[in-house]
Homo-oligomer: A and B are copies of this chain.
Amino acid sequence: MQVEIKPPYLLFLGDEPGVGHVKTAMGIAFWRPDACLGQLRLPGSGVDLGLPDMTPEEAALAGVKTLIWGVAGVGGMIPEHWTPTLFSAVEAGLDVCAGTHTSLTAVPGLEEAAKKAGVRLIDIRTPPKDLPVGTGERRSGKRLLMAGTDCVVGKKFSALAIAKEMTERGMKADFRATGQTGIMISGGGMPIDAVVSDFVSGAAELLSPANDDDHWDVIEGQGSLFHPGYSAVTLGLLHGSQPDAFVVCNEVGRETIDAYPDFPVPSIEELIKMTVAIGRVTNPDVRCVGVSLITSSLSEAERHSVLSSTADEIGLPCVDPVATGVAPIVDYLNDTFGGIEQ
């Protein structure tokens, strides 16, 4: 009942002159080097992810199962000169996965070609059909949710980094994707913001199903409870995830909600208080276990100072997942919930 994408991947980069529009592909290559067998660039491309260049035919021979549309065209459209690649991928027997505004099925003839070739066109913005209403029923296993003060504050990166840290320590853990890039990285997930509002918490329940008692689902968050546009998504995800624990994600220095200059970003304390107050509805024991900050605008000395003062104020570990890694949060989680002895 989740969106599913078969690895390994061929990453399509188009003819983008720079990396600005290929962030999706970069994220996939960074987090899933094992799953990325090649890249496909058109003449004029100025990007190199360091992967072997392959045609769809070569990729199919190398074992690739899916062409990932790793670029964002202007306005989410699919430029006409990129469409021949879609057809050659389909004809080579590859599934095609994209998150473009223009649905793949809107490309004239592509659906028929895919049907004929027996491959799938995966529109990652389309949620599964027949999603249920959330039941609120407790399920086995443990869940850690990223809670943002805003959009674009490192929720996906933090979740991926924590899941990786856990796995490397031999803990049972899965990253659970709720957004397009996350779904492409992990090969599955739920495009939660595209789900009809009645079914958001039900979709979140499906995304993190019952599991072993010592298994952690590390769930990518979306939006913010304090976001004037996206709070519904955030609350449905919170209630459906029933998190045992959450990590606050925040960008140092951001004062107002991204693209909403009249709306202040909440303080970390406010977000913790609100998340506990309303998250208690489906998990009375929900608690914050750490803070993950974007500090890339700071000097090394400033970063050190902000991380330690925040940790002191909140009384919880505070990291920059890029600069310091997330080990202190996983340590704290294991101290709190019991984990694998190191």
Contacts and interface: CB of A to CB of B under 8 A. Distances in A.
Interface of A: 133-137, 192-198, 200-202, 225-233, 235-236, 239, 260, 262-263, 274, 277-278, 281-282
Assembly of this chain: how many copies?
Answer: 2
15 contacts: A135-B229, A136-B229, A136-B262, A193-B198, A195-B196, A198-B229, A198-B233, A201-B231, A202-B229, A228-B239, A231-B235, A232-B235, A235-B235, A263-B281, A278-B278
B229 A232 contact: no
B274 A197 contact: no
A304 to B, nearest CB: 33
A13 to B, nearest CB: 27
Given A196-B197, A197-B200, A231-B281, 8 more contacts: A133-B230, A134-B229, A136-B228, A136-B263, A193-B198, A200-B232, A201-B228, A225-B281
A197 B228 contact: no
Sorted nearest first, the 10 A-B pairs with minimum C-beta distance are A136-B228, A232-B236, A134-B229, A200-B232, A133-B229, A193-B198, A232-B232, A197-B197, A235-B235, A197-B233
Contact of A229 (B201, B225, B229): B201
B136 A281 contact: no
A40 to B, nearest CB: 31
A225 B135 contact: no
B197 A236 contact: yes
